Amino acid sequence: MRAGTSGVLVPDGNLAALATAVIDIINSRQEWTLKCRASVLSHTWEETVTKWDALLREVSG
């Protein structure tokens, strides 16, 4: 996830910031749809599998 490109980061426990972020996404749905779709299409399955495999190996010891 990249803040502002494929998602929004809000401070932990800050419900007002979360609500504002959700409202902003809803109000600019088309823009977010395009940005998120572009983000997804920039990755390949092979790249994703490789990253997940490395992460799972790291956390499993």
Q: Is residue 4 a part of any domain in this protein?
A: no
31 pLDDT more than 80: yes
Q: What is the DSSP annotation of 3-51? A: BTTTB----TT-HHHHHHHHHHHHHTHHHHHHHHHHHHHTS-HHHHHHH
The yes-or-no verdict on residue 13 having pLDDT over 90 is: yes
pLDDT at 2 over 90: no
Number of domains observed in the structure of the chain: 1
Its pTM surpasses 0.85 = no
Domain assignment of residue 3, yes or no: no
Residue 1 pLDDT more than 90?
Answer: no
**34: containing domain:** 15-60
Give the per-residue pLDDT at 52.
95
